[in-house]
């Protein structure tokens, strides 16, 4: 009986060693943080784990009831998120993402669908990454400096400055291998 269980364990381990890498590849884009505010507006932090730079074209959230619809739309070229970097996308408190439409209070739980439309910069193929989101409403509103428009996402790499919204392009920094 002991030998039979050992063979099952060996088969399971072989399966994980063979196909485990494929499971890791599927993780790609990750919504690492999110907030919906009682005064309207929403922000989502996306981590690019795909291995290629991407240009985020659109981020949208629709509640299961359909009452709430927050949307971030980038410029025609999209907002570049380098591989391994996180960026925060902020959706202003307007339209279906406004306080009047949200009609929620601090602590209310909202469930809905999240969709990220992006362009893989290497292959030039456009993709939609659907997902679901369950979150509690937080007190307050988007920070004042970004509530007026959803023009530029915030770079959260820790050492790289936020994107320049003046229209001038700044030199990019390449990571240095140790």
Residue 93, domain extent = 27-154
Side-chain-side CA neighbours of residue 94 (13 Å): 10
Please report the pLDDT score of residue 95 as a whole number. 78
Residue 178 domain-assigned (yes or no): no
As a whole number of angstroms, the distance between CA 55 and CA 80 comes to 4
Residue 133 domain-assigned (yes or no): yes
- Round the average pLDDT of the chain to a whole number and report it: 74
Residue 165 domain-assigned (yes or no): no
Average pLDDT on 153-172 reads 40
Average pLDDT on 72-89 reads 91
Please report the pLDDT score of residue 150 as a whole number. 43
Residue 72 domain-assigned (yes or no): yes
Q: Which of 68, 50, 69 is nearest to 59 (CA)?
A: 69
Q: What is the CATH number of the domain that holds 49?
A: 2.60.40.1940
- Residue 5: Cβ within 10 Å count: 9
**Is this model's pTM higher than 0.85 or not?**
no
Please report the pLDDT score of residue 5 as a whole number. 55
* Model pLDDT for residues 9-60, shown as the tens digit of each residue: 777 777 766 665 555 444 577 777 888 888 888 999 999 988 899 999 999 9
């Amino acid at each position: 009986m002991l030998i039979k269980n050992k063979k099952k364990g060996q088969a399971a381990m072989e399966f994980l060693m063979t196909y485990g890498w494929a499971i890791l590849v599927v993780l790609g884009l990750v919504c690492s943080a999110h907030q919906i505010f009682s005064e309207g507006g929403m922000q989502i932090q996306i981590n690019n784990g795909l291995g290629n730079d991407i240009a985020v074209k659109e981020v949208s959230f629709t509640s299961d009831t359909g009452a709430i619809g927050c949307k971030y739309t980038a410029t025609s070229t999209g907002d570049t998120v380098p591989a391994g970097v996180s960026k925060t996308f902020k959706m202003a408190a307007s339209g279906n993402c406004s306080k009047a439409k949200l009609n929620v209070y601090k602590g209310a739980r909202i469930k809905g669908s999240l969709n990220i439309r992006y362009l893989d910069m290497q292959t030039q193929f456009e993709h939609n990454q659907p997902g679901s989101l369950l979150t509690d409403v937080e007190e307050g509103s988007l920070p004042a400096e970004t509530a007026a428009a959803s023009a530029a996402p915030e770079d959260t790499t820790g050492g790289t400055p936020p994107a320049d919204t003046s229209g001038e392009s700044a030199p990019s920094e390449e990571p240095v291998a140790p």
